[in-house]
Amino acid sequence: MKEVSADQVKRMMERVAQKVVESEPYLTEIDLKIGDGDHGTGMKRGFLAVQKMLLDLKVDSCEGVFRAVGTCLLDTMGGASGVLFGTVFISGIVKREERNSFKLSDFAEIFSTSLTSLKKRGKAKVGDKTMVDALEPAVLALEEGAKEGLDLIEGFQRAALAAEKGMEYTKTIKARFGRAKYFGDKAIGLQDAGATSVYIIFQAMSDFLKGEKN
């Protein structure tokens, strides 16, 4: 599969929203250990709104789908997570010409731009025990896959695997942001909820693409 249509991107986001909503108990359990305990409920609230919004969304372009998802998250999640996850979907498409289909290179370009914006906004980098620890490896995997000429399915499989490894990496480090930073060494062994959400999102996109092939 070399490209997906705008309608397929919409259905991909529907799959993402469903998976995030279903993962609320898991995300809450993780966040209760070293965070405020509200990450799961915030993600569920935002992506329930995304599910509802997508039902009536008239698809005009792939960028339009991303814009609608990001705006919905900003409007409904609240707090830092709403801004950060809204940025993931909005920042990368701001200056792009509207397109009716996406290749792997388009996803790589969008998420790369969003990663840069996210790091500027949140000041986090790999090693800080945040969502960046999962997002940056996923983005690099997309970029490398695009350079190698991989199709969407294999490219996103690699990205999801990279995000998972990044999520697991957060167990080995101390936190430098949020409530978790006050745990010091006690945070080692526990994974970051934001990085977990990033992995869930990329795995859901990968699963959707594999399903489209069948």
DSSP string, 114-151: HHHHHHHHH---TTSSSTHHHHHHHHHHHHHHHHHT--
Rounded to an integer, what distance in angstroms lies between the CA atom of residue 89 and that of residue 73? Answer: 9
In which element (H, E) is residue 109 found?
A: helix 104-122
Tell whether the torsion through CA atoms of 101, 104, 109 and 113 is positive or negative. positive
For residue 91, what are the domain limits? 3-213
**Which pLDDT score, from 0 to 100, does residue 208 have?**
97
Tens digit of each residue's pLDDT (9 = 90 or more) over 126-171: 999 999 999 999 999 999 999 999 999 999 999 999 999 999 999 9
Q: Which pTM value belongs to this model?
A: 0.95
Q: Structurally, how many domains does the chain consist of?
A: 1
Q: Count other C-beta atoms under 10 Å from residue 154's C-beta.
A: 16
Q: Is the pLDDT of residue 179 over 80?
A: no
| DSSP structure class, residue 203 | H
3-state SS assignment for residue 127: coil
Q: SS3 helix, strand, coil % of the chain, rounded to 5?
A: 75, 5, 20
CA distance 5 to 113: 21
Tell me which DSSP letter residue 179 carries: G
